[in-house]
């Protein structure tokens, strides 16, 4: 499972002219689901999202997590993150989970997020969304969890 996260001072998602989710300071996470992802992959991703230290301390170092700052978390499904872009001039989507499976895992991720964090907003799976954000820093990270990316030591 992939999360492209951005530290934001504000972010929102709109569908058909209606705002369906918005946060002030916090993280915007664009979420891609891959075929091998499971509910435990979603659990690991939420743990990392909430604990990932991307917010500055008094010295300006990234030492605080979303859990510590209690900022907002905006989760937006984005299947294009799982695209295969290694060759050619058009992305391939065989590396993305099938829509039904991806929607179920995204929904599970949202439930887990709401259980773990007080301020969670979401986009809508399968919708044509407009996402607006003010990226602070700019700070953007690619988080990926799953059997192909986790290394045992």
Q: Which residues are catalytic?
A: 78-80
- Residue 152 neighbours by CB distance under 10 Å: 3
CA-CA distance, 143 to 3, in Å (whole number)?
Answer: 5
> 85-120: buried (b, 16+ CB within 10 Å) or exposed (e) per residue?
eeeeeeeeeebbbeeeebbebbebbbebbbebbebb
């Amino acid at each position: 499972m992939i999360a492209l996260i951005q530290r934001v001072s504000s972010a929102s998602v709109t569908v058909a002219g209606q705002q369906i989710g918005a946060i002030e300071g916090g993280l915007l996470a664009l979420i891609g689901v891959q075929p091998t992802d499971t509910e435990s992959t979603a659990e690991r991703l939420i743990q990392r999202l909430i604990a990932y230290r991307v917010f500055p301390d008094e010295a300006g170092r990234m030492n605080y997590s979303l859990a510590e700052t209690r900022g907002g978390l905006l989760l937006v499904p984005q299947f294009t993150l799982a695209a295969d872009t290694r060759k050619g001039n058009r992305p391939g989507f065989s590396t993305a989970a099938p829509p039904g499976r991806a929607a179920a895992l995204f929904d599970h991720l949202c439930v887990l997020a709401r259980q773990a964090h007080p301020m969670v907003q979401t986009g809508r799976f399968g919708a044509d969304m407009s996402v607006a954000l003010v990226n602070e820093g700019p700070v953007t990270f690619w988080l990926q969890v799953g059997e192909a990316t986790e290394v045992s030591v």
